[in-house]
């Protein structure tokens, strides 16, 4: 078992990472929660595979209510939020009870937001089930739902009581979602961990990757922990986590969130900005080749699709994160070493 503790001024909580952790989740929860009622929020895919398991695990000690959402980003909506509030109130949940987010990032973000707002805050725990959720969205306290005008526009910072990560859950994840999450793993390697990056390049099969998955998740969560601890509210260093994301977001948006997954778009973003920065002599020569090699290996795209450059820049300017005269972009010095560069809005075209 790997354990990490997130230490923030207002909140400390543990992250546990262990294969098979789900088999014992009832016992684990008993250590931190003494009341009876637990609401488990999940989606239909996860419920189908693991619903019985979590019910069986909790039923002896807790009174359990399952709330099952339709899988996919559409569930991070105000309508779904309203239904979830209703179901929780019908269950007569109180602030002394517990909510579990049992699913990927969609379930985690929505459940976190529900928990942070209903009755002015109900404690919750994260049991992330997708790779992206295990290495990224379940750690760091950002919770949100979408509005028709854009993603994650309503949200807050609200941390769980604990995060329980069972890498064995990933065995049932669709390959496309696995590689989607791998893009963020690769991002961690690029920004902070050359050794992780190198290891990823050397695995010869998915079996070798899975043999090391516990360690990989641990390293990613550790990087995120350190960054979040030094900049919880995302005003400085935490922006490093956005490597590849400025362009990535526009690619996702341009294709209406249908053609590319988030990870695929980020992969294109990481490759493309490094192409520019390596050409300018900011990034060590050879870095781009390594990124290309690793993206191909994990079945991720790297070429920028045919998009109008002017439109891309306009979209970047509209992004809620890019207000004011300056834009923060993340560049690599080399693999494992990144920095934040403030550039004038009008110079953005040099990096696209």
Q: Which residue ranges make up the site for ligand NAD (CB under 6 A)? A: 43, 45-46, 49, 71-73, 76, 103-107, 109, 129-130, 132-133, 136-137, 140, 142, 151-152, 169, 172-173, 177, 180
For 193, residues 6+ apart whose C-beta sits below 8 A from its C-beta are 219, 223, 336
Give the position of tokens 């725990």.
Answer: 125
Tell me how far, at minimum, the Cβ of 232 lies from ligand NAD, in Å: 12
Closer Cβ to ligand NAD, 8 or 282, answer by number: 8
Classify 331 as helix, strand or coil.
strand
Closer Cβ to ligand NAD, 29 or 133, answer by number: 133
Closer Cβ to ligand NAD, 54 or 58, answer by number: 54
Token couple for 87: 């179901």
Closer Cβ to ligand NAD, 24 or 35, answer by number: 24
With residue 38 as reference, give the H or E element that holds it. Answer: strand 37-43
Strands of 129-225 (E only): list them: 142-147, 150-157, 163-165
The backbone region for 141, taken as left when phi is positive above 0, alpha when psi lies in -120 to 50, beta otherwise, is: left
| Cβ neighbours around 235 below 10 Å, total | 8
Closer Cβ to ligand NAD, 261 or 287, answer by number: 261
Tell me how far, at minimum, the Cβ of 159 lies from ligand NAD, in Å: 11
Tell me how far, at minimum, the Cβ of 43 lies from ligand NAD, in Å: 5
CA distance 107 to 138: 10
Tell me how far, at minimum, the Cβ of 346 lies from ligand NAD, in Å: 30
Strands of 59-189 (E only): list them: 63-69, 98-103, 124-128, 142-147, 150-157, 163-165
CA distance 204 to 93: 48
Closer Cβ to ligand NAD, 105 or 269, answer by number: 105
Tell me how far, at minimum, the Cβ of 257 lies from ligand NAD, in Å: 10
CA neighbor of 162 nearest in space, from 30, 48, 50, 297: 30
Tell me how far, at minimum, the Cβ of 111 lies from ligand NAD, in Å: 11
With residue 337 as reference, give the H or E element that holds it. Answer: strand 337-344
Tell me how far, at minimum, the Cβ of 223 lies from ligand NAD, in Å: 14
Query: What does the chain come to in residues?
Result: 352
Closer Cβ to ligand NAD, 177 or 255, answer by number: 177
Closer Cβ to ligand NAD, 193 or 232, answer by number: 232
CA distance 92 to 229: 35
Tell me how far, at minimum, the Cβ of 46 lies from ligand NAD, in Å: 5
Tell me how far, at minimum, the Cβ of 181 lies from ligand NAD, in Å: 7
CA distance 103 to 110: 10
What is the chain's percent helix, strand, coil content, to nearest 5?
A: 55, 20, 25
Closer Cβ to ligand NAD, 189 or 313, answer by number: 189
Strands 2-7 and 12-17: antiparallel
């Amino acid at each position: 078992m790997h354990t990490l503790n997130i230490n923030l001024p207002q909140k400390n909580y543990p992250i546990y990472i262990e294969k098979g952790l789900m088999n014992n989740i009832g016992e684990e929860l008993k250590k931190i929660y003494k009341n009876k009622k637990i609401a488990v929020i999940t989606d239909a895919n996860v419920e189908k595979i693991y619903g019985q398991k979590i019910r069986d695990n909790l039923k002896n000690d807790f009174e359990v209510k399952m709330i099952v959402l339709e899988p996919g980003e559409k569930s991070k909506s105000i309508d779904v939020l309203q239904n979830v509030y209703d179901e929780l109130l019908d269950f007569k949940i109180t602030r002394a009870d517990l909510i579990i987010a049992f699913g990927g990032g969609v379930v985690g973000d929505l459940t976190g937001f529900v928990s942070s707002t209903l009755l002015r805050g109900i404690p919750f725990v994260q049991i992330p089930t997708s790779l992206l959720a295990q290495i990224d969205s379940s750690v760091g306290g950002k919770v949100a739902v979408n509005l028709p005008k854009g993603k994650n526009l309503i949200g807050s910072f609200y941390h769980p009581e604990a995060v329980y990560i069972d890498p064995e859950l990933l065995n049932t994840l669709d390959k496309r979602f696995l590689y989607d999450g791998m893009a963020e793993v690769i991002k961690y390697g690029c920004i902070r961990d050359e050794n992780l990056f190198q290891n990823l390049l050397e695995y010869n099969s998915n079996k070798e990757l899975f043999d090391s998955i516990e360690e990989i998740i641990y390293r990613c969560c550790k990087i995120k922990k350190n960054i979040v601890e030094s900049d919880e509210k995302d005003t400085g260093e935490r922006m490093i986590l956005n490597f590849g994301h400025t362009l990535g977001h526009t690619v996702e948006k341009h294709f209406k969130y249908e053609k590319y997954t988030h990870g695929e778009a980020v992969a294109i973003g990481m490759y493309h900005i490094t192409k520019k920065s390596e050409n300018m002599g900011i990034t060590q020569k050879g870095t781009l080749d390594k990124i290309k090699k690793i993206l191909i290996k994990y079945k991720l795209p790297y070429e920028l699709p045919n998009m109008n450059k002017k439109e891309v820049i306009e979209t970047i300017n509209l992004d809620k994160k890019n207000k004011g005269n300056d834009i923060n972009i993340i560049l690599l010095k080399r693999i494992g070493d990144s920095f934040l560069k403030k550039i004038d809005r009008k110079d953005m075209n040099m990096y696209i």
